[in-house]
Amino acid sequence: MSVPFVLVVDDYANTRAYLRALLEHEGLGVLEAGTGERALEILASREGRSIRAILLDLKLPNQSGIDLIAPFRSLCPKAPIIIMTAHASVPTAVSAIQKGAFHYLEKPLVEEELLGTLSRALFLEKTGEDSLREFSSDLDLVGPTMEKMMDRLRKAGSHSFPVLITGESGTGKEMVARAIHRFSARSRAPFVAVNTGAIPRDLVSSELFGHEKGSFTGAMERKVGWFEAAGNGTLFLDEIGTMDLSVQVALLRVIESRSFSRVGGTSPIPFSARILCATNENLEEMMREGRFREDLYYRLNVHEIRLPPLRQRTDEISFLAIHFLREALSLTEDGTEIRLSEGARKTLERYPWPGNIRELKNSMITVSIEHGPEIRESSQALIPPEWLPESVLKTSSSKDEGLEPEPRTLKENERDQIRKILQETGGNKAQAARILGISRKSLYAKLREYGLGDHSGSARETSGLE
């Protein structure tokens, strides 16, 4: 098997020598060019056929690296182009990626990040788009809509800027964050997921930044926080909209200075992880209400990925249901056939799935336990009973009489479902939110909307872990 070659385009001889030594030590071949003109000559020559990736400096004599992306891709369309620069800026990086660059690295180069980026670039160059489908097979993102999103996730993984993932509870925001991480050069580094809404308010700073021994009552030893644990990997902050304003200020300071200090500490600790955030809240509305800082919002929302709710993907619900049934029953594609009746399919598509993909998956797990691979409209636990058509709940004689259920709005059904679950849980809102597949904040909002009694939440419910 031939050795893959990397073309290094940089006007500094010392940089080229350093990269040659590093890459050859990793078993790669290296070709060098000090100018854009020389690089074009190499790519157009016979030896250019062996090039599998390009490291391109942004600033070259009399030329910008961005201007070379198009001609490089024309001569060597399959070779991923990785931009290197000591003058990083968001607009420049976005422009490079939009013009076809695979990734963007800041100088001085971090060896681990560079080698990880090259490894991912060479893998994609070898396997192409088929790798995306293979990679997505272990994600709960199957279906035509989400298949289209995989390319967006790959592009998001190709840079290191913050990404804001928005969508209702249960739409798969953490899975998307993990996909971005695995598509990135940081895929071998830690992925640290933190549910900021589940941390008691008085412990948020300690959990995120860590603390020194004796910094407060109960601090019996030094604690490493999530920011430090993320290392050079990815830090995923879920439910970012629940973060207290004082913590928002601290997070903004970390993003701007790329360092932080433990609670009770004075020595700054470098922060090099990439930040991904997710929320089911409307952050723009929260900004107008003064509950979320505008400067932090624009720092985190460099790139936004919106996930559609399941009720807007009705053509995929049956597809997803069968996928989850196969998964629950441990069936392969060549295994037992899943039988989903036409009535069951229509029932699944009619239900609004307030808990989205999470609720559908849980429903299919329950149904698989009780009914195996054959699912009918009347299968118990398919959807909440009050959502089943009257024809299923009534006797066959009633059905023959042509009785039809009284038309009801989605809001009416949702209100009754929430009321029913609250009754079953004895008013425990935390438990009700888990059953409904939504966050407690979303439940409180719906209680206010439907006028369903107290919606403030007890101290036990609002401060404990979900």
Contact 452, 415 (CB under 8 A): yes
The predicted pLDDT at position 327 comes to 76
What is the C-alpha R_g of the chain? 26
Sheet holding 103-106, edge to edge: 29-33, 5-9, 51-57, 81-85, 103-106
Among 283, 210, 186, 303, smallest CA distance to 242 is for 283
Contact 216, 263 (CB under 8 A): yes
CA distance 65 to 59: 6
pTM (2 d.p.): 0.57
The predicted pLDDT at position 87 comes to 67
Side-chain-facing half-sphere of 266: CA atoms under 13 Å: 0
pLDDT (tens, 9 = 90+) of the chain, 466 residues, equals 467 899 999 999 999 999 999 999 888 899 999 999 999 999 999 888 899 999 999 989 888 898 999 899 889 988 989 999 876 555 566 567 657 787 778 888 888 778 877 876 775 555 443 334 334 444 445 555 665 677 788 888 888 899 999 999 888 898 889 889 988 888 888 899 998 888 887 788 888 998 888 888 878 888 888 999 898 899 999 999 999 898 999 999 999 999 999 988 888 999 999 999 999 999 999 999 999 999 999 999 999 999 989 888 887 788 788 778 877 776 544 445 677 788 888 888 888 888 898 888 888 888 888 777 778 876 767 777 766 655 554 533 343 344 444 555 667 777 878 887 887 777 778 778 877 778 778 888 888 777 776 544 443 343 332 3
Beta bridge partners of 238: 195
How many CB atoms neighbour CB 161 within 10 A?
Answer: 16
Give, in order, the Cα–Cα distances in Å from 445 to each of 245, 369, 451.
Answer: 20, 33, 10
CA distance 276 to 346: 37
Residue 423 token pair: 């009754």
Residues in contact with 409: Cβ distance below 8 Å, sequence separation at least 6, in sequence order: none
Alpha carbon dihedral 243, 246, 249, 254, in 10-degree steps, equals: -80
Residue 295 token pair: 């400067």
Domains and CATH numbers, the chain: 5-127 (3.40.50.2300), 153-306 (3.40.50.300), 310-400 (1.10.8.60), 411-463 (1.10.10)
Buried b (16+ CB within 10 A) or exposed e, 331-361: beeeeeebebeebbbebbbebbbbbbbbbbb
**Side chain identity at 362, as an amino acid letter?**
N
Give, in order, the Cα–Cα distances in Å from 305 to each of 146, 171, 193, 300, 441.
Answer: 12, 12, 18, 12, 21
The predicted pLDDT at position 45 comes to 93
Angle 173-182/144-157 helices, nearest 10 degrees? 50
CA distance 79 to 118: 11
Helices (runs of H) and strands (runs of E) counted in the chain: 22, 16
Angle 440-450/429-436 helices, nearest 10 degrees? 100
